[in-house]
Every structure is written in structure tokens, then in C-alpha cells.
Amino acid sequence: MAKIKVNGREVEAPDGANLLLFLNDTLGLNIPHYCFHPALEKVGSCRMCQVEFVMRRKDPDGKESVRRVLGVSCRETVRDGLEVETHGEAARRARKEAMEFLLVNHPLDCPICDKAGECRLQDYAYQTGQLEGRTIEPRRKEEKLVDLGEVILLDRERCILCTRCVRFFKHFEGRAQLGVVERGDRSHIAAFYDQPLTGNYQGNLADICPVGALTLKKFRFKQRSWDLTPVPSICPLCSRGCNIFVDVARHGVVRRIRPRLEPEVNGYFICDQGRLEFDDLNMVEERLRFARVRREGRLVERPMEEALAEAARLVREAGEGLLALASPFLTVEEGEAFLALTEKAGFKGFWSPPPTGLGDRHLRTDDPCPNRRGLEKAGLQAVHKEALAAAIPSASLVFLAGERILRLLPPEVLSLCAVKHVILLERVLGGLEGAVQVALPGASWAEKSGTFVNADGRKQRISPALRPPGEAAPDGRILEEIRRLVLLQGSGKEEEK
Amino acid sequence: MSGYDQVPEAARPFLGPTPSGKPVPVKVLRKDRLDWKEKVALIEIFKGMGFTLREMFRPRFTIQFPEEPFPRHPSVKGRPVLAKNPDGSIRCVSCGLCEFVCPARAITIDPGETSDPIQREPRDFQIDMLRCILCGMCEEACPEEAILMSDELLMATDARPKALHHLEDLLVPVEKLQERIDYTKRMYRKWNRPQS
Amino acid sequence: MTVLVVAALLKVALFIGLAFGVAAYATLAERKIAGWIQNRYGPNRVGPWGLLQPMADGIKLFFKEELLPTGANPFLFKLAPALVTGSALLAVAVIPLGDALTVAGKKIPLVVADMPVGILYLMAVSSLGVYGILLGGWSSNNKYSLLGGLRSAAQVVSYELTMVLAMATVLLFSGTMSTRGIALAQEGLWNVFRFPVGTVAFFLFWIASFAETNRLPFDLVECEPELVGGYHTEYSSMRFALFFLGEYVAMFVQASMLTTLFLGGHTLFGLERIFGNPVLNVLLGAAIFLAKTFFFLFVFIWVRWTLPRVRWDQLMALGWKVLLPLAMVTILAGGGGVIWGIY
């Protein structure tokens, strides 16, 4: 620990820590900054984090002399004897002037800018309190719509040249894709040879851009940021378990997924699949909203109680002939409920899809199961294609439970199931309409709470961001209810009633 | 000066002493006793009858409202409407500030993109006039002078769906709203720019 | 004989229609004139210039719910409005609208009942109206209604004295109690111009008629600030409408009596006989009579929207201390004048 002096007060600070991070995160001084990003190289180009360094030196004759120097705090590390003034006259003025320079050419785009509401430039402009520009010259005109590949759009007028995006590729991927071209007041951000951006992490540019210059195509004009409610959750697309926020709009629609800081798992970033593949959560038309039961050869919508009783009867009657297969998307709690329900089953486990091959050296893993470790710990076995294909023909009843199981199972397995009696706990009916006896409307990962255990064995909590439609309910609740009914029917209490 | 000179002469006694300190003589106009003429009241009765008779032939004050428009000051806050530019384009960029600021949550905007690459435009803009309280906060929040309080005051309908005004119902040529725009500009200049 | 019966029936129909029509349009006139005095238009939505407004009001009142207050006497409560309107309508019988028509050799005067004691009949019948008001106020089981009814009785008794004395002065001049006779007797000189007795009697009668019809400034019977609505507080629908109608018919009767007793009825200094055709002359006479009546109706309304309501004690003081002595002096002077041949 080092002893430093901040605004005249002695503070203990970890030796070698970044000064700006320490001032902001530990002391909460809220010093503005644009070019600084904790995960990226520090360049100190925006000059917004300037503070006053107080240097004291003893002259040979014993007289103390004090020198005050303005400097950026983002490039300074904490060391013993450091003395800074963060909100003195000089520092404040320096920051205000830097801000004014940044705003000289920034367009008044806020009403149509997707960043508005979470824009650092907006926030600090209000903080410094200078609400009107002093310039009379026309603002710089630049290209407002530059296509940077499939994910990102660039607006050069709004850019303040903090070069966070440039450094992002250089340091995260080791290979620069963007650069600052031209010189002086003509410098701007461009992709090399105007090639579209590549890689699985482009979406992070929209997060790290402190202004609205880099925006997501998918989020463009969809929702104002202040209308979004962030719900902390865990990305289920691979076994990494990245921490995310699910941003839900007023009317219960997921508009955006963005990373949530978790240094031990994903840091500041997430991959593009996790960020962009959420349309499935907003599914409306295809969704099973109410339970369906086969009556006289046809699947008809019935009340939930009736469907649950029917499912319980089928499970009890099947006994050992039950083949129970869970989706790898089930949470730990749901896995336990599933196991309890299918204790008599002849064959049970959770489906283990083959490696996707999408893994990379950053975040994405090859394993598409978000909760493999958790389900194994709960007592379920991972089931592969061969074992499943061998077991299905001898089973009398197939119980498929969990989100996306129909999509994850290979077609040949599904065709084996199609000739059996099937109980389905899913969000959609999929291709099994002919075989399903009872279809129970389940919930997606964004509609339930529970625990995922990631590839490193880290338990992480998901929380509900949406409300399941109709009578649909979280899988765990449905599984527990079926089990209760199985026990009731087994003890003969149902007849007594 | 205390502004004493600007007060009509008849009202000055109510102001108290003059700026120079001299008290103003207050003249009481009311008599506390009636004389015999007033007691008999016949003269007063005929004066009154004459007065009402004269009044019968004076021009009417009444404005026949629905048929006859009555003059409205631009400060009147009527139905909120969206301004349409002379070239037919919509001023609104669907920034959502009015939607956010609306205390009654009467506004719902469906934002869309136009051919002009950066411009946003509302695909639909709904104001539920059953919820709207005509507070004018949307107008104040609007950065584009797009949503304005018109002087339309007849908003009653006979069916709930008719009270939900859509984009096409809300668009009004901007020339018709110019008076209101000038008025709001003048007022905002007065309120929002405290001279330091 | 048949001619007389048919003529009588026709006259009854004509006079009832006339009374109701005048009463209905007097309500419109009331509101219109009130509007003009207050620089408004008055009702102008139903029909041209609002001329159909009385019909609309009537239809509305017909479809209103009839209320019977708890504790009210149902029989008296329902009887009261009928008494008010009925007595007012009975009084219409002695209004001499014009001279006599000659049909099939029979002289048919333009009055329903040309009784020798017409004036007595009038006083008797129009005093019945106060029973309606009194009963209505009493049977409503409402203290305000009761107060209104009591006031009505007191007020009518006080002012009827003055009225009868003023009327008696006229009888001295004309020497007959038939209303038609009184009108014809003024062909030479209207009673109002028999200065000063006739003039004073005219004004006494006029003032008393305001009290008789419960009109402002003497409408202490209704007196909204004190008694909510007075005797008809509890009435709704057509029963209220009957009270309303009765008041306006009574106004019409009083206006016609003023015309008959003091303004020479259908006569206008011989001008009523300028046509050679007797039928036209009779019609002209009726028109003259109605014009005079309408003038008084207008004054009733005009006064209502000009003068404030007097206090209860002022009303009584005026009636007993000023008008009654004055009326006594008037009748004495009138009698003396007749005896000594001045008039």
C-alpha cells in the first residue's frame, strides 16, 4: 500500500494501481475521461482526466518549494508520496477547456443519436455546465453513415477521436482493423482499405465508444436508452457464462444485450453471438402459450392443470419405460427437479450437443451447454447421440424437457422420437406434432431465475427479465408440479378425492 | 421611481403615501345616510329600468362558439399536434423525449428510419387523448419544435378508439403553428436564460 | 242556439290555446329578454331564433322522472299544481278580447263568459291559485316549501286588498262589473287618464299584480337564496311544469286585466273601428288588446331582470303601510269625484 494525498487528505492506495481508476472507483470522484478504458492501452489523448499534481521539493538550503503541474491522471500509477488536486481551479478549468474543444465540432445530434442517455459526452457537458458553444464557425461536415461490416455503423461527425476503437482491435485481437487516417483537423477513423470489420467481437465497439460514433446496426433507432431496464443475467450461448445485462424495453421486449463487468469471467466484453442472437426471446407467434393435450387423436389447448395431470399419469404409467432427456439449458435447480421426477426412468440424462467449433482464444468456448457442470453436479448424465439412438426404440414414453431441446437434437434422433409417445416441455412445438401427447409451455432463460455453472465451475445467477406469455411457466415449476401429481396419484389420494 | 406615476390617478389613494412622503387625501365617495329621494327609491327604479332598456340594444358579448371561432391567445394549450414542414416532411425525429417526459404516459412512438440516411422519423406516433392532460411538457421537451400545443379545443369523441390520435391525425402544417412557435420561443428565452 | 253552443266551444278552445301559447312563449321571451339585458343572445339553438325552445322544454319536462318526497301527502302533492294552473285558466274566461261579432243574427262577444259579475268571478278564481301554492308547499314535507307556501298566503292576502280597492275605483267609474262592460265604458276616456284617481289606481293595481303573480321584486315565495326553490322545491317533471305554466298564465291574466280595467281593453280612441268591415274591426280590436297585454307582459319581464328582490318586511311594510292607505284614499276620492260629477 502506498500513501498518497488527494485534495489534501491522506489516503492509502494499492501500489501500482492506475491513478484515475483509483480516484474514480475507490474514491468516487467521478473524473471525466474518454480515451481511457481500463481494458485498453492508456494514451491520454482526450485530456479530460487532467488533475493537478503537487510537487514538493526541499532545496539544499532546507527551504521547501511547491510546483503545481497539470497532467492526465489516466497514465499515472499510484506511488508513495503522490499528491494530487482533482477539483482545484486549474484542474477544473483545464477539463472544461478540453471539453469545449471536443464539442467544437460535435453535431447537435442527440435527439436522433442512439447513444443519447448513456453518452459520456452528454453527461460531462451537463456537468461542466457550459450549455452553449462560443464558436460561430460552421461545424465540420463529415460522413454520417459509414458501414463498418455487419454489426457496426460509424458516424464520423460524432467521433471525438479518442481512438478507443483503434486500440480495442490492436490489444484485444492483436491485429488492428481500424486506424486514424489523415492529419490534423482532417483526421478521422477508417477501416483499413475500407474493408468490413471481421471477428466475433465487433459489437463491443458500440460499448466502448464514449459517444454515439459507433453504433450497433441491430439496435439502431429501436429504443431510447432511458426506456430500457437492465436486468443482470448470464449469457447461455456457451459454457463461458459471460455476465450480461438484458435490456428490456417498456412493453416487455428485449432490445439489447450488453456485457456486465466481471473480471473473473468476461471482463468488459462479450462476443457478437451473445450480443446479437436474442431474437428468440422476443418470439411471439410460434410460442406455445397454453398447454396442449392429445384428445381423440388431436392436440387441443387445455388448462394447465389438466395437462399436468395427464403428463403425471403418463409418467407414472410408463414406469421403467420412460426415457427422460433434459435440455442443457436447464438450470441447476431445474436439473434437480428433473432428476427427482424421473427417478424411476429406464434412461435419463441431458443432451450434450457436439462441440460447435466456434470457440476462440478469447471468450467463446466450443461447448454450447451453458450449464454442463451444473447438471452433472446435480446428478444428470451427459447423453450423446449413439447412446440415445440405441435407447429410444425400447422406450415406451419419451420426456423431452427444456428450452431449445428440439432445436439442439439431431434430426435422426427426432425422427426416432416421432414414432413414440412424447411429453414435451418446450417453448415451441417443433417438428414433433404427430408424436406429442402432452405439450407443456416452458420458459426461456430470460424468463426464469436459477443458477448456471460455467466451464470453470463458477456458479452464477440468472434473473428473469421478461414475463412468460399465457400460461407458460418456468420449467422448474412445471417439473415440480408434475412430480407432486405423480406422487399424489401413486398414493391413491387422487381417487379418494 | 416606485412606478407611482404609472398607476391610474383614481387608484392612487390605495397606494398609500406618495414617494415624496406627503399623504394622499383620501376622498370617500360613499354616503352613509340616504336622502329622501333614495329612500323612496322611485327615481332609482326608473334609472334602473332605463339602464336595462338601453342595455337591450347594445351589441352582444356572446361568441357563438362552435360556429364562430373565438380569438385565442397563443398561450392556449390545446390538442398537441405534430408540425409538418412545407415540403411535407415530418419534423419529428422520434427522439422519445416527449414520450419520456409525458406525466400521463399518453404518448407512444414507433420510431423508423427514412431514406435520408441519418434521419429518424416516426412510423407511428400515438397520443391517447383520454390520458393527455394538456400540460405541454412534451412541447417543452421537444428539441425539434415538432410537437406543439395547438389551439384546437374540441377533443370530445363518442368512441374510445377515436380518442387515440395517430400520426396522420396529428400532422398539421407548420405555418398554422407559427404563432405558437414564436410564443414559446419568446417564453423560453424569458425563463430558461437567466442572465448571469 | 247551435250557433251559440258552437261559438262558445270555439271560444273556449281559442282562449285556452291563447293562454297556453302566450304562457309558453312568455317563458321564451323571459329568457330572451334576460339575455338581451345581459348582452347575451338568449336561447337560439332550437329552431330559428330559438322559437321552438318552449316545445323542447315541454318535451324535456314530460320525460323527466316524477319524484314524490318521503312523507309527502300524495293526494295534496298531486292536486296542488293542478289547482294553480286550473285557477289561472278559469280566470281566462272573463278576458274581453274584443268587441262582439255578429254571426247568423246573434251577437257573440269575444269573451268566453260575459258575466255581469265578471270582476267578482275573477277575484274569486284567481285567489284560488294561492291554495295550490299553499298546498304544494305544505304537502311537500319540506321546511323550505312550507315557508314558501306561508309567504305566498301572507303576500296574496296583503296585496289582494290593495288590488280589490283599486279595482273598485274602476267599478265606480264604469258602473258595471262585467269585464266587457268595463272595457266598452272606456271608449271615450281610458281609466288611466282619469287623473289623478284613475292613474293612482292603475299604478296601485299594477304594483299589486306583481305580488299577485309572485314576480320579482316580490317573488319571496320562491326566493332562491333563502328557500332553495320555495313551494316547488320538491316538484319535478310535468308537475313542476304546471306550476310554471300557472305562473305565466296568471301573468297573462293580470296583464289583460290591467288592459281591460285601465287601458280601455280593445279600444284605441276610435281607431279600432277604422275598417268598414265589422269582422276586420273585431280582429283589429283583438290585436290592439293583445298588443297592450303584451306590453304589460314585457314590463313584467323587464322589471324582473332589473330590480332586486325586496326584503320580506319591506314587502309587508309596502303593502300595509303605503299601498293600502293610498288605495283607501283613492277609492274615497274616486267616490267623491263620481258623486260630485267630476268624472
ipTM (interface predicted TM): 0.76
pLDDT band at B6 (very low <50, low <70, confident <90, very high): low
Average the pLDDT over each of C5-14, C101-110, C185-194 and give the range with the smallest value: C101-110
B-contacting residues in A 242-281 (Cβ below 8 Å): none
What is the CATH number for B126? 3.30.70.3270
Query: Does the beta-carbon distance from B111 to A227 stay under 8 Å?
Result: no
At residue A54, does pLDDT exceed 90?
Answer: yes
- CATH no. for A137-282: 3.30.70.20
Chain segment A110-133, per-residue pLDDT in tens = 888 899 989 989 988 888 777 777
Pick the CATH number of A292-496 from 2.160.10.10, 3.40.50.740, 3.60.15.10, 3.40.50.300: 3.40.50.740
Specify the pLDDT at position B2: 47
Query: Does the beta-carbon distance from B49 to C40 stay under 8 Å?
Result: no
| Domain total in chain C | 1
For residue B160, being part of any structural domain is answered with yes
At residue A51, does pLDDT exceed 90?
Answer: yes
Mean pLDDT of C105-123: 81
Chain segment C279-319, per-residue pLDDT in tens = 788 888 888 889 999 999 999 999 999 988 888 888 888 88
For residue B52, being part of any structural domain is answered with no
Provide the domain limits for residue C47.
2-339
Q: How many helices (H) and strands (E) does chain B have?
A: 6, 6
Subunits with 3+ Cβ pairs within 8 Å of B are: A, C
| Domain total in chain B | 1
Interface check C298 vs B, CB under 8 A: no
Chain segment C197-235, per-residue pLDDT in tens = 888 889 999 999 988 888 878 887 777 778 887 788 888
pLDDT band at A365 (very low <50, low <70, confident <90, very high): very high
Chains A and C are touching, with contact defined as 3 or more CB–CB pairs separated by less than 8 Å: no
pLDDT band at B7 (very low <50, low <70, confident <90, very high): low
Q: Among C33, C40, C305, select the one facing B61 at the smallest CB separation.
A: C40
Interface check B48 vs C, CB under 8 A: yes
Chain C residue numbers touching B54 (CB-CB < 8 A): none
pLDDT band at A497 (very low <50, low <70, confident <90, very high): very low
Pairing of strands A254-259, A243-248: antiparallel
Identity of the residue numbered B33: R
Query: Does the beta-carbon distance from A111 to B99 stay under 8 Å?
Result: no
Task: Quote the CA–CA distance of C156 and A156 in Å, as a whole number.
Answer: 95
pLDDT band at C179 (very low <50, low <70, confident <90, very high): confident
Chain segment A209-242, per-residue pLDDT in tens = 999 999 999 998 888 898 899 999 999 999 999 9
C-contacting residues in B 68-107 (Cβ below 8 Å): none
For residue B161, being part of any structural domain is answered with yes
Contact C159, C212 (CB under 8 A): yes
Provide the domain limits for residue B151.
80-191
Chain B residue numbers touching C41 (CB-CB < 8 A): 60, 62, 64
Subunits with 3+ Cβ pairs within 8 Å of C are: B
Task: Quote the CA–CA distance of C37 and C305 in Å, as a whole number.
Answer: 7
Nearest residue to C331 via CA among C316, C314, C317, C343: C343
Identity of the residue numbered B149: M
Query: Does the beta-carbon distance from A111 to B112 stay under 8 Å?
Result: no
| Residue A18, φ and ψ in degrees, nearest 5 | -70, 130
Chain segment B26-77, per-residue pLDDT in tens = 666 777 777 887 777 788 888 889 999 998 888 888 888 888 887 888 888 9
For residue B123, being part of any structural domain is answered with yes
Pick the CATH number of A2-103 from 3.90.870.30, 3.40.1280.10, 3.30.70.20, 3.10.20.740: 3.10.20.740
pTM of the shown model: 0.69
At residue C136, does pLDDT exceed 70?
Answer: yes
Chain A residue numbers touching B113 (CB-CB < 8 A): 220-221
pLDDT band at B10 (very low <50, low <70, confident <90, very high): low
Chains B and C are touching, with contact defined as 3 or more CB–CB pairs separated by less than 8 Å: yes
pLDDT band at C334 (very low <50, low <70, confident <90, very high): confident
Interface check B34 vs C, CB under 8 A: no
Specify the pLDDT at position B30: 72
Task: Quote the CA–CA distance of A150 and C72 in Å, as a whole number.
Answer: 87
> DSSP letters along A252-310, please?
S-EEEEEE--BTTTTBT---HHHHH--GGGG--SSS--S-EEEETTEEEE--HHHHHHH
Specify the pLDDT at position B196: 46
- Torsion of the alpha carbons at C233, C238, C242 and C247, rounded to the nearest 10: 60
Nearest residue to A90 via CA among A104, A71, A75, A73: A71
Q: Among B97, B100, B113, select the one facing A221 at the smallest CB separation.
A: B113
For residue B27, being part of any structural domain is answered with no
Query: Does the beta-carbon distance from B118 to A224 stay under 8 Å?
Result: no
Give the residue extent of every domain in chain A.
2-103, 137-282, 292-496
Chain B residue numbers touching A112 (CB-CB < 8 A): 93, 95, 118-120
